[in-house]
Chain A
Amino acid sequence: MVASTQDDGFVVFEHVQKSYDGETLVVKDLNLTIGQGEFLTMLGPSGSGKTTCLMMLAGFETATHGEIRLDGRPINTVPPHKRGIGMVFQNYALFPHMTVGENLSFPLEVRGMSRSDRERKIKRALDMVQMGAFANRRPAQLSGGQQQRIALARALVFDPQLVLMDEPLGALDKQLREHMQFEIKHLHESLGITVVYVTHDQGEALTMSDRIAVFNDGRIQQLAPPSELYERPKNSFVASFIGENNRLPGTVEEIADGRALVRLETGELIDATPVNVARKGQQTLVSIRPERVEFKPEMLPPNAHLIDAEVLEFIYMGDIFRTRLRVAGSEDFVIKSRNTLGQRVMQPGEKVRIGWAPQDARALDPL
């Protein structure tokens, strides 16, 4: 899965493999190029190898095979403290026996910076995260969100070119997390630093990233900008991991000119866009996003595919309605519709006709 082959990448993973026990590979042949100033997110379920990749980049784990380059320089043998990479940890890792100011001063002191330079930089970094008044507090006296800001300031205070973030927002509540996502994004844009961000939260990844690398089973499943990842997932894993999707199993009946005819298990023949199916007779999963399915045929383009369905459940969620239907034998086909004027409340058991545009139905490999 080589996504980009630019040689001048700021961070380059080349055929990197990692094994802890000598029996299984946690990271299998990772090739990844991250450009200068890019915000790249490693997204994946736990155990997918994303954190291991981050730790190898930070220098806390050594690659079993392959080469990692930072700014053109191989760093496999460079100890962590000489890599000059800022890092934000999941539990913040603020030193409990030091004040906020001392925490920020630490990376500057070990670099032998003069006192006045240190004070200037600490002030600048604290102001950057709007925590200027907290320099004399201890970490334990701060709320989770404030600790998060301090951890961020500490990772940035020594002006690193590359900042790694290991699920930094995992411990915050939803509202604060969304707020911090924007703050981190803005800091990234204003400082022009390169960020490698690890998360298992797809919403976070979609909101913040320039590109997302979806990890599963030690491999990058897809590396793409958020919109492409969401709208054109390359395989069933990516489709199901990013956002919701309806999956209809079937067999490829015909495939030509970027179109595939898929015979569903209940016998219906539908149009779909082939993604990683190539030949006739192949098993496939047709993936359709719940918000791309319509109840009203007049809202659909003329070539839309219409199909009979039965309402099983209707959930009122405020801004949206969530309708679960039986479609072509599948009982968990979901439609999300906006709560607009004139949107009808449906009753279970109601028979309706639903439809979608063929380009929104993507024929993927069976999972």
Chain B
Amino acid sequence: MADATAQIAATGTERLTTADGRPLKTALARAQARARRRAFLLVLPLLLFIVVTFIVPIGQMLHRSIHNDGFAANMPQLTQWFAETEPGTEPDETAYAALAADLKAAAEAKTIGVVGTRVNYEMAGTRSLFTSTGRKARKFEPPYRAAILEADEKWANPDLWGTMRQVSRAYSPNFFLAAVDLARDNEGNIVRAPAERRVYVMLFERTFVIAGLITFLCLLLGYPVAHLLATLPLRTSNLLMILVLLPFWTSLLVRTTSWIVLLQGQGVVNNTLVATGLISDSSRIQMIYNQAGTIIAMTHILLPFMILPLYSVMRPIPPSYVRAARSLGASSWTAFRRVYLPQTLPGIGAGALLVFILGVGYYITPALVGGASGQLISNLIAFHMQDSLNWSLAAALAAVLLGAVLILYWLYDRLVGIDNLKLG
């Protein structure tokens, strides 16, 4: 970069130029451009990877949570009628004609199931109505209202028409409403979902409470371990660190199933308790397939994520701080509370945030050891992805979870400061 050798002008007010007369700023930018380009090219593969595997899927998921055209795309004429009429309009002959035409077309294109499923999300038991009427749609003759009602008189139900009007809009907030146990009635007012369908708010609460409890347990268990690791001679602490990291090298499934072996009714812990006479054979403790199982197994699995940031913060704290506090007259508890603990706060924050966020989204462990009471929101998301195939609701639930975590992150930044985070 020979052109960067600036010739400093004799007078301070004059613009600085290089030896061959170009402005210094241009020359500098030119000289650095190549280095910057090279640096960018080096990170480009990772950037592309993240865009393709992370940002795009998350964007798609967020889009899906408010967009579902299963009805609108396959029932174009009826969708058109809904768009042209006011909400609450009685379905007239035109509407039934549009319905008949759409049902016929959808039945031929074999998309009637998609339509039925979409309506079924909002109003249970309607999928079969669509498929069965669809089979007869080929034979419908005007007047269509009579023909359709003859095929199945459930079509006269105003609730059904209200629901169809709602789902005829491809973009709708209904999935988010459903994700927080709300629904819309036929007039479009937001009301609480029927009591038997209110599960999500309770599950969100349970997820955050359990994740918080696991974070607290990890801190309680991890803090002394991290302190021990940080104060031992490096050779010993490295050996112990391998033990902390060992779980990382073992499959998650293996670790989770080994908890089943330990905790189940006929498991190691219960058998030991019975054998030593601490409990009787009939009163074996239920420690798995419930919340306790979820908490125990997840605390174990997430513990390293608490220990590592704590360790990295504690290691460089010299023992002289606590000694100084002691020599200044502080008891060991005061010295810990006023001098040592504040200096480890960045590690506590990082570890807690890490464990909490991981815990909130944990899926496989609660699925395996959680039973009914230990299921978390992620298990419901998986259920809607894999079994009910209501991907939009799954996406809405996931988006609510994402939003909650982002809010927590923001709160953390406001209260503790993200600069105080130290992950390792």
Set of chain A residues within 8 Å of B331, measured between Cβ atoms? 79, 81, 110
In terms of DSSP, what is the predominant structure of the interface of chain B?
A: helix
Query: Of B324, B332, B343, which is within 8 A of A87 by CB?
Result: B324
Interface string of A132-171 (1 = CB under 8 A from B): 0000000000000000000000110010000010000000
Give 10 nearest A-B pairs by CB, closest first.
Answer: A107-B328, A93-B324, A87-B327, A93-B320, A80-B326, A97-B342, A110-B330, A89-B320, A110-B329, A81-B326
Nearest CB to that of A107 among chain B residues? B328
A295 interface hit (Cβ, 8 Å): no
Interface string of A76-103 (1 = CB under 8 A from B): 0001111111110111011111000000
Set of chain B residues within 8 Å of A86, measured between Cβ atoms? 327-328
* Cα-based distance from A90 to B343 in the complex (angstroms): 20
Set of chain A residues within 8 Å of B330, measured between Cβ atoms? 81, 106-107, 110
B321 interface hit (Cβ, 8 Å): yes
* Cα-based distance from A96 to B324 in the complex (angstroms): 12
Q: A58-B327, A80-B326 are in contact. List 7 more A-B contacts (CB 8 A).
A: A81-B331, A83-B327, A85-B327, A87-B328, A93-B321, A96-B343, A110-B328
* Cα-based distance from A282 to B300 in the complex (angstroms): 72
* Cα-based distance from A58 to B323 in the complex (angstroms): 9
A106 touches B328 (CB 8 A): yes
Query: Of B320, B327, B334, B338, which is within 8 A of A91 by CB?
Result: B320
Set of chain A residues within 8 Å of B325, measured between Cβ atoms? 95, 106
- Seen from chain A, the residues whose Cβ lies within 8 Å of a Cβ on chain B are 58-60, 79-87, 89-91, 93-97, 106-107, 110-111, 154-155, 158, 164
Query: Of A91, A97, A158, which is within 8 A of B328 by CB?
Result: A158
A89 touches B329 (CB 8 A): no
Set of chain A residues within 8 Å of B320, measured between Cβ atoms? 89-91, 93
10 contacts between A and B (CB under 8 A): A58-B327, A79-B326, A82-B329, A86-B327, A87-B328, A89-B323, A93-B318, A106-B330, A110-B329, A164-B327
Nearest CB to that of B331 among chain A residues? A81
| Chain B residues with a Cβ closer than 8 Å to the other chain, count | 19
Within 8 A of A (CB), among B51-82: none
Q: Please indicate which of the listed interface residues B320, B331, B342 has the most CB atoms of chain A within 10 Å of its own CB.
A: B320
Set of chain B residues within 8 Å of A93, measured between Cβ atoms? 318, 320-321, 323-324
B339 interface hit (Cβ, 8 Å): yes
Query: Of B318, B326, B329, which is within 8 A of A60 by CB?
Result: B326
Within 8 A of A (CB), among B314-365: 318, 320-321, 323-332, 334-335, 338-339, 342-343
Set of chain A residues within 8 Å of B342, measured between Cβ atoms? 97
* Cα-based distance from A126 to B419 in the complex (angstroms): 32
* Cα-based distance from A21 to B61 in the complex (angstroms): 62
B321 touches A95 (CB 8 A): yes
> Taking the nearest CB of chain A, how far is it from the CB of B202, in angstroms?
41
A84 touches B329 (CB 8 A): yes
* Cα-based distance from A85 to B334 in the complex (angstroms): 17
Set of chain B residues within 8 Å of A95, measured between Cβ atoms? 321, 324-325, 339, 343
Nearest CB to that of A86 among chain B residues? B327
Set of chain A residues within 8 Å of B335, measured between Cβ atoms? 81
Q: Please indicate which of the listed interface residues B321, B325, B327 has the most CB atoms of chain A within 10 Å of its own CB.
A: B327
A59 touches B328 (CB 8 A): no
Nearest CB to that of B327 among chain A residues? A87
A60 touches B334 (CB 8 A): no
Q: Please indicate which of the listed interface residues B324, B326, B331, B334 has the most CB atoms of chain A within 10 Å of its own CB.
A: B324
Nearest CB to that of A85 among chain B residues? B327
Set of chain A residues within 8 Å of B326, measured between Cβ atoms? 59-60, 79-81
Nearest CB to that of B330 among chain A residues? A110
Set of chain B residues within 8 Å of A111, measured between Cβ atoms? 329
Query: Of B328, B334, B339, which is within 8 A of A154 by CB?
Result: B328
* Cα-based distance from A93 to B331 in the complex (angstroms): 17
> Taking the nearest CB of chain A, how far is it from the CB of B142, in angstroms?
83
User: Given A95-B339, A107-B329, A111-B329, A89–B334 Cβ distance below 8 Å?
Assistant: no
Within 8 A of A (CB), among B9-34: none
Set of chain B residues within 8 Å of A60, measured between Cβ atoms? 323, 326
A97 touches B329 (CB 8 A): no
B329 touches A91 (CB 8 A): no
* Cα-based distance from A270 to B237 in the complex (angstroms): 60
* Cα-based distance from A301 to B253 in the complex (angstroms): 93
Set of chain B residues within 8 Å of A107, measured between Cβ atoms? 328-330
> Taking the nearest CB of chain B, how far is it from the CB of A117, in angstroms?
15
Set of chain A residues within 8 Å of B343, measured between Cβ atoms? 95-97
Q: Please indicate which of the listed interface residues B318, B328, B342, B343 has the most CB atoms of chain A within 10 Å of its own CB.
A: B328
Set of chain B residues within 8 Å of A106, measured between Cβ atoms? 325, 328, 330, 338
* Cα-based distance from A17 to B318 in the complex (angstroms): 26
Nearest CB to that of A166 among chain B residues? B320
Set of chain B residues within 8 Å of A58, measured between Cβ atoms? 323, 327
A81 touches B339 (CB 8 A): no
Within 8 A of A (CB), among B137-174: none
Nearest CB to that of A87 among chain B residues? B327
* Cα-based distance from A42 to B342 in the complex (angstroms): 34
> Taking the nearest CB of chain A, how far is it from the CB of B331, in angstroms?
6
* Cα-based distance from A110 to B331 in the complex (angstroms): 8
* Cα-based distance from A237 to B325 in the complex (angstroms): 37
* Cα-based distance from A86 to B324 in the complex (angstroms): 9
> Taking the nearest CB of chain A, how far is it from the CB of B339, in angstroms?
6
> Taking the nearest CB of chain A, how far is it from the CB of B408, in angstroms?
24
> Taking the nearest CB of chain B, how far is it from the CB of A47, in angstroms?
17
